[in-house]
Amino acid sequence: MKLLNTRALVLRSQPLGERDRLLSLLTWERGKLSAVAPGARKIKSKLAAGVDYFTCGSFLLHQGKSLYTVNQLEIETNFSRIGENIKDYAYGMYFAELAEKLLEEGESYPDVFDLLLSCWGHLLDKKADRDVLARFFELRILSILGYHPHFQDCLYCGDQLGPFFWNYSSGGVFCGKCRPGEEVVFPFSRGTHALAVRLLSLFPGKIANIRAADLQKKELQDFTWHFLQYWTAAGHLKGLSFLAKVNNSEGDKKAGNAPE
Ligand SMILES: [Zn+2]
């Protein structure tokens, strides 16, 4: 009998038949994997409380031919209070969806595990600016997965003063002299450039100290979203549509009508 005892984060949890739930887990030892939580849809199930979004737990998994089965679990940290605010919920879901889309099965990603755990913690803590936190999450997961955007100087001549420009295919920034003439480029304000450099090297515990102007956040968001599509082919991210909807609605509400 193949058993795996591992810390895991619940990236996705969906109903499977009348009784069970199908989970996408980010495990410490084996990275992303799918697991059935038998009976977890039943209120009296011992597994029910630990198979929701925003859970970090110790899971005992049985490895079957195509899927794992959850035998036991012990909740380590329950971030479910993230769901009390619909904006926090939308950001937390987006982080989990991005991790699930970008990670390959069968590889271990302890740095992504720590990143997601830390960013869920910041959502709960509510001290960090959510948009800055989202850009931090995007830039850092890209960097961990080998798509480190080159921000610190011009890709061609090494100029560090800027102002800088980026285009979809470059993977980094150019100064005004070296910007490719034949391709569409987008300007980065100096503040946005400084924000990007800072986020790429920041200790996660310091994210709550970072504030940014709306223009900087918008420019960096345009960059990361285009960069994600161009370099990782992340495809349609439901979390982004949900985030846009939530950010366009007024005020911070409870997550009443959030999608499963
Ligand atoms: Zn240059």
Mean pLDDT of 19-28: 95
Instruction: Return the sign of the alpha-carbon dihedral for residues 204, 224, 80, 24.
Output: negative
Judge: domain 3-78, CATH 1.10.1200.10. Answer: no
CA of 145 to the centre of ligand 1 (A): 26
CA of 218 to the centre of ligand 1 (A): 24
pLDDT at position 251 is 55
Mean pLDDT of 38-66: 88
pLDDT at position 35 is 96
Asked if 88 and 126 touch (Cβ cutoff 8 Å), the reply is yes
Assigned CATH class of 85-248: mainly alpha
Backbone angles phi, psi at 24, to 5 degrees: -105, 120
- Confidence bin at 135 (pLDDT 50/70/90): very high
Strands (E), the chain: 3-16, 20-27, 31-37, 55-63, 68-78, 164-166, 173-175, 186-188
Domain boundaries, the chain: 3-78, 85-248
Given a cut of 90, whether residue 14 has pLDDT beyond it is yes
Say whether 85-248 and 3-78 share the same fold.
no
Strands 3-16 and 20-27: antiparallel
Choose among 148, 120, 113: nearest CA to 33.
113
Given a cut of 80, whether residue 17 has pLDDT beyond it is yes
Mean pLDDT of 115-122: 96
Higher pLDDT, 26 or 47: 26
pTM above 0.85, yes or no: yes
pLDDT at position 257 is 47
CA of 186 to the centre of ligand 1 (A): 15
CA of 174 to the centre of ligand 1 (A): 5
Mean pLDDT of 201-227: 91
Could you give the 3-state DSSP secondary structure of residue 96?
A: helix
CA of 163 to the centre of ligand 1 (A): 10
How many Å apart are CA 169 and CA 172, to the nearest integer? 8
Structure tokens at 60: 């005992």
Choose among 82, 56, 55, 70: nearest CA to 22.
70
**Identity of the residue numbered 93:** M
Given a cut of 70, whether residue 111 has pLDDT beyond it is yes
Choose among 216, 201, 213, 92: nearest CA to 149.
201
**Identity of the residue numbered 73:** L
pLDDT tens per residue, range 58-75:
999 999 988 999 999 999
